[in-house]
Amino acid sequence: SQKIEQNSEALNIQEGKTATLTCNYTNYSPAYLQWYRQDPGRGPVFLLLIRENEKEKRKERLKVTFDTTLKQSLFHITASQPADSATYLCAPGANDYKLSFGAGTTVTVRA
């Protein structure tokens, strides 16, 4: 069965540092992968999309990579700020409407 694993439940980093989150998947060949941010008491909010034929995508201080050989996506937050503190969800998708969400990684940025 499909399995999506995101690294360690929580990531604590110092302001200004880079946070790196990992999303690994098995028994799955997604055509794309989305990353969402979820704040406490709120619904997930879309951040970035990367397709299988793309190696890297950037948006402001965010960077996503997608390695279909390793079956892995990395999500980087550079120059992190306390406002980046949230839970980040990876969501691989196939050639249909379905997204399968990982359990999420909670990031806390210390001032």
Partner 1 sequence: DAGVIQSPRHEVTEMGQEVTLRCKPISGHNSLFWYRQTMMRGLELLIYFNNNVPIDDSGMPEDRFSAKMPNASFSTLKIQPSEPRDSAVYFCASSLQASTADTQYFGPGTRLTVL
| DSSP structure string for the chain | --EEEES-SEEEEETTSPEEEEEEEES---SEEEEEEE-TTS--EEEEEEETT-SEEEETTEEEEEETTTTEEEEEE-S--GGG-EEEEEEEE-SSS-B-----EEEEEE-
* Residue 25 vs 102, nearer CB to partner 1: 102
Q: Quick check: 70 binds partner 1 (CB under 8 A)?
A: no
Give the number of residues in contact with partner 1, rule: CB under 8 A: 22
Interacting positions 42-61 with partner 1 (CB under 8 A): 42-46, 49, 51
Between 28 and 101, CB nearer to partner 1:
101
From candidates 19, 23, 25, 34, binder to partner 1 by CB under 8 A: 34
